[in-house]
Amino acid sequence: MSSNRLLLRHPSLRRPRQRSHPQWWRHQLLRSFGTPRWYDLQSKRGSPEPPTLNVQQLQSSFSSKGLSLDEMVTLSGAHSIGVSHCSSFSNRLYSFNSTYPQDPSMDRGFAAFLKTKCPYGGSNAETTVPLDVVSPNRLDVRYYKNLRNHKGLFTSDQSLWSDPSTAYIVKENANNHAEWAAKFGAAMVRMGSIQVLTGNQGEIRMNCRMVN
Ligand code: HEM
């Protein structure tokens, strides 16, 4: 049996019938991680896009899959849960550019906090930090509020606020949880239907970053 079918048979991933049910959204999120589609969205090489991209680069990646600018910003709200390894953002703390070792667009207190978790040259490769330090276990619009407070973890996150072409969407999402949640659900469903692989055309990765 293919691993895709195995996943779909797993009772914890059976699709709850109603969209209003929180499990339904959880299912959609897991579904998009559990198949190759999400990683295909991220890169043709099969490994995720670097978190150092700017808005133009992100937009080009998303639009190549038929996703709009609004959907890109809305889907990025998934960074309201989960964790990141230090290596995904430590350049912003220690080696940003030749003028600023620390990214000046990052809140100083936030940077100081991150440095305690990810000390220069001293962090364990397994160390992780929540993507949303304020409400790490809740899928909410705090991610966007963090961006407004210059507490986005990745350059790609923070650039959504620093770039005027997306800042207004960040603002809108930050101010309206219900509207964002509805857009997020719809965008997740759309993303879930991009280049669907079935049967043994694809696989469920054991390690998100690598082909099995
Ligand atoms: C906009 C482009 C995106 C980039 C550049 C990006 C990049 C990243 C990076 C670098 C990490 C942390 C990896 C690590 O260090 O362990 C991460 C984690 C995560 N991303 Fe994204 N991401 C993007 C979009 C998305 C989207 C669209 C979703 C879902 C709709 C998503 C959901 C997540 C989740 C849930 C985690 C946490 C995973 C965990 O806790 O293990 N990301 N992302």
90 has pLDDT over 70? yes
- Protein residue whose Cα sits closest to atom 26 of ligand 1: 76
- Would the CB of 58 count as within 6 Å of ligand 1? yes
7 has pLDDT over 50? no
Q: Which atom of ligand 1 is nearest to the CA of 50?
A: 5
Q: Do 40 and 195 form a contact (C-beta atoms < 8 A)?
A: yes
What mean pLDDT do residues 77-97 have?
A: 96
190 has pLDDT over 60? yes
What pLDDT is attached to residue 39?
Answer: 40
Which residues belong to the annotated binding site for heme b? 79
Which residues belong to the annotated binding site? 79, 132, 140
Band (23; pLDDT cuts 50, 70, 90):
very low
> What global pTM score does this model have?
0.81
Band (48; pLDDT cuts 50, 70, 90):
low
Give the number of C-alpha atoms closer than 13 A to the C-alpha of residue 146, restricted to the C-beta side: 25
Pick 49 or 20 by higher pLDDT: 49
Angle at which helix 164-175 crosses helix 69-76, to 10 degrees, equals 50
